[in-house]
Homo-oligomer: A and B are copies of this chain.
Amino acid sequence: MSRFAEPPDPVFQALNSSISFDHRLAPYDIEQSRAHVRMLAGAGIVSSDDAATIERGLEAVGAELDGGLFELRADDEDIHMAIERRLTEIVGPVGGKLHTARSRNDQVATDVVMYVRHHARTARAALHALMRTLVALAERHEDWAMPGYTHLQRAQPVYLSHHLLAYFWKFRRDHLRFGFCLAASDELPLGAGALAGVNFDTDRHELARALGFGTVAENSIDAVSNRDFVLDYLAAAATAATHLSQLGAEIVLWSSQEFGFCEVSDAFASGSSIMPQKKNPDAAELLRSKAPRVAAHLIGLHGVIHGLPLTYNKDLQEDKERLFDASDTLELTLAAATGMLEGISFQRERMASAAADEFPAATDVADLLVGRGVPFREAHGVVAGLVRHALERGKQLSEVTAEELSELAPQLDAAYYALLEEGAWLESKRSEGGTALPRVREQLERAHAALVEASA
């Protein structure tokens, strides 16, 4: 018997019901409930027989869920009620004992944090696969020259391996970020009850161990109001998605006829409904497009929690769809990035020819002057004048005559022309972390070490 005299309005039911999405929590709910009832029996709060009956029932419900045989009923408001309803159908009224010393408030928080922890681990594995792919790709293209850009202007040549490894380190930070996410969600909410704790001396640490948590939430009010773990997951996912968007954007750019640096495999491209010649890098565009989606989920959840009084408020129900969509999006785009990179082919000639442009050597010419004692700023000015002179005459730098040179930059001589022979300045970037081949090779070693560490 309910204290309510009136049935819910269908519009309210549609708004209030969460089962259309929270059914995804079912496996966590079953796992949680099994651990909970075992703990209740261990603490003598329910009898061992009842606990065994309930656990068998939960197993049966779980099997129905796994097998797609679980039937929802119109009045199943959420997955937690649906499971308990079905449990009671199977094992009888004793099923009602499962909810002893528990409230939906701590139950939901626990399901959600379990989901977060599972998917933080999934994200780490997917990031690891992508990182591995990037290392392999870098190794296959170790000494392929390409232009490095700033402001999308050719700036200094680099090796493709070096450029690819830049992404490696970004995704490795994402891996660390999901690691923090796991560390920061290591406290079990279950046992907080509705908000104040429960009337039983439950063994929460036992429960924590059973469910893979390091410890228990220290404060019941915090436990039921806390959604930091979702924010942490979304923040990590948003940053990873932003990195993926940069990778996607570069592949789109490089796939253009104008760049012509790479071609994605047919398996990751699509055609046009009207233009038969088109091969569109859709996968790369979609990688680019998804970051605002994940970031919007993050700010959306911040918005929900903003100004919300403690403890549980229905508003918190808004955490789930965002979280689910973010994890789906992230896992799919990580897999797509990995697959797309595995099948991509780079165009060595196009890249090399773009990298052969002499103007990027200008920094090195300036550094030549620095080596001769000219302060950098002054050297910069001298070379800028040379560049302008050459551009105005449609010349490459090496086509500037010795006469012109002696007038524009009297400190320069034959070393200038020597330097301008292609390639010299690629190997000159020999500082640690630079693009010179020996440095790239050191970097690859460290990347391998980081891979090993990340898989631990």
Contact = CB atoms under 8 A, between A and B. Distances in A.
A79 to B, nearest CB: 13
B273 A169 contact: no
A277 B360 contact: yes
Contact of A431 (B193, B218, B376): B193
20 contacts: A4-B269, A4-B388, A8-B270, A12-B339, A148-B196, A151-B314, A173-B184, A173-B228, A191-B431, A191-B432, A193-B431, A197-B430, A197-B431, A199-B430, A235-B235, A274-B363, A292-B303, A299-B299, A306-B307, A307-B307
Interface in A289-316: 289-293, 295-315
A394 to B, nearest CB: 14
A32 interface: no
A286 B299 contact: no
Interface in A152-170: 152-158, 162-163, 165-170
A218 B318 contact: no
Interface residues of A, number: 200
A40 to B, nearest CB: 11
Nearest to A436: B197
Contacts of A307: 245-246, 248-249, 288, 291, 306-308
Contacts of A3: 271, 276-277, 279, 384-385, 387-388, 391
A22 to B, nearest CB: 14
Contacts of A104: 272-274
Interface stretch (A65-73, A94-102, A116-124, A410-418): A94-102
B265 A149 contact: no
Contact of A303 (B197, B217, B296): B296
Given A256-B152, A259-B258, A267 B9 contact: yes
Contacts of A420: none
Contacts of A433: 191-192, 197, 204, 216-220, 223
A429 interface: yes
Given A195-B156, A303-B292, A443-B219, A362 B151 contact: no
Nearest to A265: B6
Contact of A163 (B14, B98, B310): B310
Contact of A385 (B1, B157, B168, B289): B1
A383 interface: yes
Interface string A174-199: 00110010011000000111111111
B300 A298 contact: no
Interface in A236-292: 238-239, 242, 245-246, 248-250, 252-253, 255-260, 265-283, 285-286, 288-292
A221 interface: yes
B285 A314 contact: yes
